[in-house]
């Protein structure tokens, strides 16, 4: 059966290119997005830290002490309000908050007292704030700043800093900057600036553009890979089909050389091999034909003289048996010479429609023996595309071998089945017997020219069958039948895919 050249090369080339490209684009996109996010977040953090430091510089320590005192003066509060509004407008932030170093900070903080435990971050209490609407909310709780104790501790150490991103109650990401309001070495309070992370909006657009660019790049790589992979895989597939044809003995068709690269070099090499095989096959056929021709002429003379000798010995019956042996050997040699000539001069098949049932039935009549039952099982209207003469010869060879095997195994009986059945566009032909079968180690060797297990056999019969089947585009196989005998099977091309199998006929 003819094999279809494998087409996995194209898929391997595609996956071998697309998988690394997809991984690279994905890794690059994630890395670019993460780097951009971190850069923008760090830049916002630096801006907020500077804004917090600038705001802290606008507030005097004395003002913080007055606001933290229980009797804070309203004049000081209004002055601080104006400065916070100015700072919010200058630094373009959402909110500015002034907080005390720790809860309950009052007059005790105005004298420069500071938390002696440096390992404990101060807990802030809001003193005054201004939001985007400019509203002032003195004395409100600053519990939301409790999550940023580490940043407050750094700011208390004189290092303006920024908090990580956090999600507010409105589900919008925000970030805060912290700076200490110092009175010498004493911390009088903290300036806290807050802004929304509006950089995430262009970052989301950047992510979408990055995804679109990656998709377009992947599509471009896919299209380019398909084009290049086809330019690589298609010549390889055609080259594999040509090599398969050479393996079937199709030596007249040149191997196409489509490129000038390594594949083209391989194609030229295979074509040179094909030409060498063809030349050797022609020389072998000429040699076989010459040998058969040279042997046939003396055989004709031997047959003539054997007939004369038989006539001369009619009165000596005891010598006539010897003459009969000579004639049998001459006839065997004639069969051998004929098979050699047929094998050497095997013509190309002339394909046409053949009714398979009629051909199998004809073979049945020619090979049937009294002790062996030969049965044909095939749809009556099944047609194949074949050379009727060559296919008849192949089936005769297989049928005679099957009958002989059945007789050897069952001297008083035996059965042989000639079967044909359709499977889509193919027709399966089988010759099955109930003989001893073919040993597994010989199932490949029996089709080799000149290999035989018989005492008197040329070893060309099954080799000839294999060549005929190969010329019809198939491959013959031998296996063990259900009853233990041998089953020889091969496939042919159906003449018409629309043929209807209206039943099977048996004889």
How much is the average pLDDT of 91-116? 55
Tokens of 371: 């002790």
Q: Is 261 exposed, middle or buried (0-12, 13-18, 19+ CB in 10 A)?
A: exposed
d(CA 359, CA 389): 10
Q: What is the per-residue pLDDT for 444? A: 80
How much is the average pLDDT of 80-95? 86
Helix axes of 262-312 and 317-344: crossing angle, nearest 10 degrees: 160
Confidence of residue 128 (pLDDT cuts 50, 70, 90): low
Q: What is the per-residue pLDDT for 487? A: 92
248/181: higher pLDDT: 181
Q: Is 217 exposed, middle or buried (0-12, 13-18, 19+ CB in 10 A)?
A: middle
d(CA 243, CA 444): 20
Which secondary-structure segment (H or E) carries 430? Answer: strand 426-433
Confidence of residue 1 (pLDDT cuts 50, 70, 90): very low
Q: What is the per-residue pLDDT for 49? A: 92
* C-beta separation of 486 from 361 below 8 A: no
- CA–CA–CA angle 182, 186, 190 (5° rounding): 45
d(CA 307, CA 10): 70
Q: In CATH, which of 3.30.565.10, 2.60.110.10, 1.10.10.10, 1.10.287.130 is domain 262-344? A: 1.10.287.130
**CATH code of the domain made up of 8-201:** 3.30.450
How much is the average pLDDT of 171-180? 89
d(CA 301, CA 149): 122
Domains 262-344 and 352-506 alike in fold: no
In this structure, the strands spanning 415-423 and 373-379 are parallel
255/507: higher pLDDT: 255
d(CA 408, CA 437): 11
pLDDT tens, residue by residue, 317-349: 778 888 888 888 888 787 777 777 776 666 778
Residue-range domain boundaries for the chain:
8-201, 262-344, 352-506
Within 13 A of 423's CA, how many CA atoms are on the CB side?
Answer: 8
Q: What is the per-residue pLDDT for 358? A: 92
Confidence of residue 102 (pLDDT cuts 50, 70, 90): low
**3-state DSSP call for residue 492?**
strand
Q: Is the pLDDT of residue 184 over 60?
A: yes
Q: Is the pLDDT of residue 118 over 70?
A: no
Mean pLDDT of the chain: 78
Q: In the 3-class helix/strand/coil scheme, how is 389-424 assigned residue by residue? A: HHHHHHHHHHHHHHHHHHHHHCCCCCEEEEEEEEEC
Q: What is the per-residue pLDDT for 414? A: 86
* C-beta separation of 393 from 460 below 8 A: no
Class (C level, CATH) for 352-506: alpha beta
How much is the average pLDDT of 201-214? 78
Residues linked to residue 99 through DSSP beta bridges, in sequence order: 126, 190
Beta strands in 134-227 (DSSP E): 161-162, 166-167, 173-183, 186-196
Most confident of 10-14, 56-60, 237-241, 446-450: 56-60
Tokens of 45: 């953090």
Confidence of residue 503 (pLDDT cuts 50, 70, 90): very low
pLDDT tens, residue by residue, 256-286: 787 787 778 888 888 888 888 888 877 877 7
Q: Is the pLDDT of residue 375 over 80?
A: yes
9/88: higher pLDDT: 88
Q: Is the pLDDT of residue 15 over 80?
A: no
In this structure, the strands spanning 186-196 and 95-100 are antiparallel
Tokens of 278: 């063809």
* C-beta separation of 218 from 11 below 8 A: no
Q: Is the pLDDT of residue 443 over 90?
A: no
**3-state DSSP call for residue 334?**
helix
Q: Is the pLDDT of residue 139 over 60?
A: no
Backbone angles phi, psi at 35, to 5 degrees: -65, -45
- Kindly report the pTM of this predicted structure: 0.47
Q: Is the pLDDT of residue 111 over 50?
A: no
């Amino acid at each position: 059966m003819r094999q279809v050249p494998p087409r996995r090369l194209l898929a391997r080339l595609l996956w071998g290119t697309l998988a690394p490209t997809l991984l690279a684009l994905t890794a690059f996109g994630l890395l670019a997005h993460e780097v951009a996010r971190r850069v923008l977040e760090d830049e916002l953090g630096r801006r907020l830290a500077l804004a917090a430091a600038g705001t802290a510089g606008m507030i005097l320590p004395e003002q913080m002490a007055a606001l933290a005192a229980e009797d804070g003066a309203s004049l000081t509060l209004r002055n601080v309000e104006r400065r916070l509004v100015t700072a919010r407008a200058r630094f373009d932030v959402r909110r500015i908050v002034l907080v005390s170093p720790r809860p309950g900070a009052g007059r005790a903080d105005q004298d420069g007292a500071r938390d002696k435990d440096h390992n404990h971050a101060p807990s802030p209490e809001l003193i005054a704030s201004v939001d985007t609407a400019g509203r002032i909310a003195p004395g409100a709780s600053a519990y939301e700043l409790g999550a940023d104790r580490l940043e407050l501790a750094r700011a208390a150490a004189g290092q303006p800093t920024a908090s990580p991103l956090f999600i507010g109650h409105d589900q919008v990401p925000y970030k805060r900057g912290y700076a200490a309001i110092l009175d010498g070495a004493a911390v009088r309070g903290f300036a806290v600036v807050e802004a929304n992370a509006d950089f995430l909006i262009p970052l989301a657009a950047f992510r979408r553009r990055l995804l679109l660019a990656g998709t377009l790049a992947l599509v471009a790589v896919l299209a380019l890979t398909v084009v290049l992979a086809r330019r690589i895989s298609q010549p390889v597939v055609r080259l594999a089909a040509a090599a398969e044809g050479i393996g079937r003995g199709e030596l007249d068709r040149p191997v196409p050389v489509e490129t000038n690269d390594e594949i083209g070099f391989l194609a030229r090499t295979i074509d040179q091999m094909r030409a060498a095989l063809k030349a050797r096959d022609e020389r072998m056929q000429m040699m076989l034909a010459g040998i058969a021709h040279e042997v046939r002429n003396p055989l004709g003379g031997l047959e003539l003289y054997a007939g004369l000798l038989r006539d001369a010995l009619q009165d000596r019956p005891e010598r006539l048996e010897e003459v009969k042996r000579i004639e049998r050997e001459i006839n065997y040699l004639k069969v051998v010479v004929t098979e050699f000539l047929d094998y050497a001069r095997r013509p190309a098949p002339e394909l046409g429609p053949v009714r398979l049932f009629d051909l199998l039935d004809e073979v049945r009549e020619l090979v049937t023996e009294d002790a062996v039952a030969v049965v044909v099982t095939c749809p009556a209207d099944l047609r194949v595309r074949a050379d009727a003469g060559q296919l008849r010869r192949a089936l005769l060879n297989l049928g005679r071998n099957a009958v002989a095997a059945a007789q050897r195994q069952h001297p008083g009986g035996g059965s042989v089945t000639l079967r044909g059945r359709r499977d889509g566009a193919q027709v399966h032909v089988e010759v099955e017997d109930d003989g001893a079968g073919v040993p597994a180690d010989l199932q490949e060797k029996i089709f080799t020219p000149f290999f035989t297990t018989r005492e008197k056999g040329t070893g060309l019969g099954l080799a000839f069958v294999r060549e005929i089947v190969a010329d019809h585009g198939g491959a013959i196989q031998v296996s063990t039948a259900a009853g233990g005998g041998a089953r020889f099977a091969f496939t042919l091309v159906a003449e018409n895919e629309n043929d209807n199998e209206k039943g099977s006929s048996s004889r």
